[in-house]
């Protein structure tokens, strides 16, 4: 048989246990979506068929017992019961045939959905792996940056101390220049006043002469 090769990724996980399988089945039945709806409908149909099949089985067992005991298969009541059981078996087989055809039809539908879900899961796994890789790479880069910053720390402290000393010296120089300028301005004012007084004296002398 040339079975079709599935394009789905290989499942490397172990098969679920019976308990896990039951839990997954219950979850599928409780969920929403086409497959969950199908599962609920299928379970209901199987329960109804189970009841009918069990009824046919019990009736057949009774008939077989009566035939064995009485050895009168041609007796009308037994023949009627046998005919009823045979017809019920045909009806059940017809019903199961219809279900079989419907399941074959649904197989292609769900195969498409499952392939899409498997592809989505594969894409999400790739995205998640990329996110993990990004975090690891960023953490590595942060560690490298922290290491470089640690190496620069003594130089930064040294330069910062020198800068503070230079600023202090610069401020002292500015203060000294300011004092000198204030002193120079005072002397200039005094000289201007003296010059004005001299001019006034000369003008008076010229006026007297």
Residue 167 in any domain: the answer is no
Residue 138 in any domain: the answer is yes
Residue 209 in any domain: the answer is no
Tell which residue, 106, 137, 94, 129, has the closest CA to residue 35.
Answer: 106
Residue 96 in any domain: the answer is yes
Q: Residues of 21-45 as b/e, b for ≥16 C-beta within 10 angstroms?
A: eeeeeeeeeeeeeebeebbeeeeee
Q: What is the pLDDT of residue 202?
A: 58
Residue 28 in any domain: the answer is yes
pLDDT band at 8; cut points 50, 70, 90:
very low
- Give the phi and the psi of residue 35 in degrees, each rounded to 5: -70, -40
pLDDT at 192 over 50: yes
pTM: 0.48
pLDDT at 184 over 70: no
Better-predicted residue by pLDDT, 25 or 87: 87
Q: What is the pLDDT of residues 44-100, one digit of tens each?
A: 888 898 899 888 888 888 877 777 776 654 556 777 888 888 999 999 999 999 999
Q: What is the pLDDT of residues 102-149, one digit of tens each?
A: 999 999 999 998 998 898 888 888 888 888 888 888 888 888 888 777
The answer to whether 36 and 28 have CB atoms below 8 angstroms apart is: yes
Total tally of structural domains belonging to the chain: 1
Residue 184 in any domain: the answer is no
Q: What is the pLDDT of residue 103?
A: 93
Better-predicted residue by pLDDT, 181 or 108: 108
Range of the domain at 106: 18-156
Better-predicted residue by pLDDT, 142 or 16: 142
Residue 40 in any domain: the answer is yes
Residue 3 in any domain: the answer is no
């Amino acid at each position: 048989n040339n079975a079709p090769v599935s394009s789905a990724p290989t499942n490397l996980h172990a098969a679920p246990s019976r308990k896990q399988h039951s839990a997954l089945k219950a979850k599928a039945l409780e969920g929403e979506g086409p497959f969950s709806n199908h599962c609920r409908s299928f379970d209901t149909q199987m329960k109804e068929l189970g009841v009918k099949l069990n009824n046919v089985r019990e009736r057949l067992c009774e008939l077989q017992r009566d035939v064995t005991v009485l050895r009168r298969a041609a007796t009308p009541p037994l023949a009627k019961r046998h005919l009823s059981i045979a017809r019920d078996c045909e009806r059940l087989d017809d019903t199961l045939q219809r279900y079989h055809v419907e399941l074959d039809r649904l197989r292609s539908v769900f195969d498409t959905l499952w392939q899409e879900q498997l592809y989505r899961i594969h894409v999400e796994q790739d995205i998640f792996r990329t996110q993990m890789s990004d975090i690891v790479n960023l953490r590595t880069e942060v560690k490298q940056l922290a290491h470089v910053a640690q190496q620069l720390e003594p130089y930064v402290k040294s330069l910062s101390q020198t800068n503070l000393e230079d600023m202090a010296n610069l401020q002292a120089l500015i203060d000294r220049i300011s004092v000198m300028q204030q002193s120079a301005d005072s002397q200039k004012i005094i000289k201007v006043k003296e010059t004005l007084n001299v001019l006034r004296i000369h003008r008076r002398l010229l006026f007297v002469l």
